[in-house]
Chains A and B, each alone.
Chain A
Amino acid sequence: DAGVIQSPRHEVTEMGQEVTLRCKPISGHNSLFWYRQTMMRGLELLIYFNNNVPIDDSGMPEDRFSAKMPNASFSTLKIQPSEPRDSAVYFCASIRDGGTQYFGPGTRLLVL
């Protein structure tokens, strides 16, 4: 299995630009999670989906952040407009039927 796939691996953008992060979960997994990791705040759960439906988005920082899961094999996390404080590593993870979470390699985002 290819594992959880995230793209891009690195993103550098300027403040105010739109950023889209992409995730392909492990085939057969039915829950998907987006996390953000920073030195100051550690690993924060932003949102998670079960069977493509958003279940808990209480961790999404503000309206500039949005996430979608149009089908079982693809999810996006969008930041519009981006700000320097959004700079972080964003991880996607997936599970099957409440089992073990498997993480992608992450997207390192730098907003200038």
Chain B
Amino acid sequence: AQSVAQPEDQVNVAEGNPLTVKCTYSVSGNPYLFWYVQYPNRGLQFLLKYITGDNLVKGSYGFEAEFNKSQTSFHLKKPSALVSDSALYFCAVRDIRSGGFKTIFGAGTRLFVKA
């Protein structure tokens, strides 16, 4: 069975500093990995995904994520945080070997960026 873990409930960072939101996953085959962001009272918005190829994936709003197969991780990063990045971030995994499109989401990490 596939699963995804976000070990931190909350991440605090000062504006202008780099940020990292951690994600680890477990699948039986090759994973599709995703990051989404949710602002208050809104649906989830797609940020970026890894399917294959370059381990460093670039996405929206200056975010990027690095796929590390040996550590089964897909951490979200941004070189310089903005106050407007404060939101709830979800990592998600899809096990393509299962043949279906079932996508499992982590519990979410709340990011606070302080001015």
- Distance in angstroms between the alpha carbons of A31 and B45 in the assembled complex: 18
Expressed in whole angstroms, the minimum distance between the Cβ of A87 and any Cβ of chain B is: 15
Interface assignment of B112: CB less than 8 Å from any CB of chain A: no
Q: Name which of B18-26, B69-77, B79-87, B102-110 contacts chain A.
A: B102-110
Range for the number of chain A residues in contact with chain B: 20 to 34
Q: Mark A67-99, 1 if CB is under 8 A from B, else 0.
A: 000000000000000000000000101010010
**Contact residues of A: prevailing secondary structure:** strand
A45 near B90 with CB under 8 A, answer: no
> A102 to B101, alpha carbons, bound, how many Å?
13
Q: Given known contacts A43-B90, A98-B101, is B44 in contact with A103 (CB within 8 Å)?
A: yes
Residues of B within 8 A of A91 (CB): 43-44
Q: B101, A42: Cβ atoms under 8 Å?
A: no
What does DSSP make chain B's interface, helix, strand, loop or mixed?
A: strand
Is A25 part of the binding interface, using a Cβ–Cβ cutoff of 8 Å? no
Chain A positions within 8 Å of B, measured between CB atoms, are 4, 31, 33, 35, 42-43, 45, 48, 50, 55-56, 91, 93, 95, 98, 100-106
Extra pairs beyond A101-B46, A104-B43 (20, CB < 8 Å): A4-B43, A33-B101, A42-B106, A42-B107, A42-B108, A43-B44, A45-B105, A48-B102, A55-B101, A95-B101, A98-B32, A98-B94, A100-B34, A100-B49, A101-B34, A101-B92, A101-B103, A102-B46, A103-B44, A105-B42
A-B contact pairs, 15 of them (CB 8 A): A4-B43, A33-B103, A42-B108, A43-B105, A43-B108, A45-B104, A48-B100, A48-B102, A56-B102, A91-B43, A93-B44, A101-B34, A101-B46, A103-B36, A106-B43
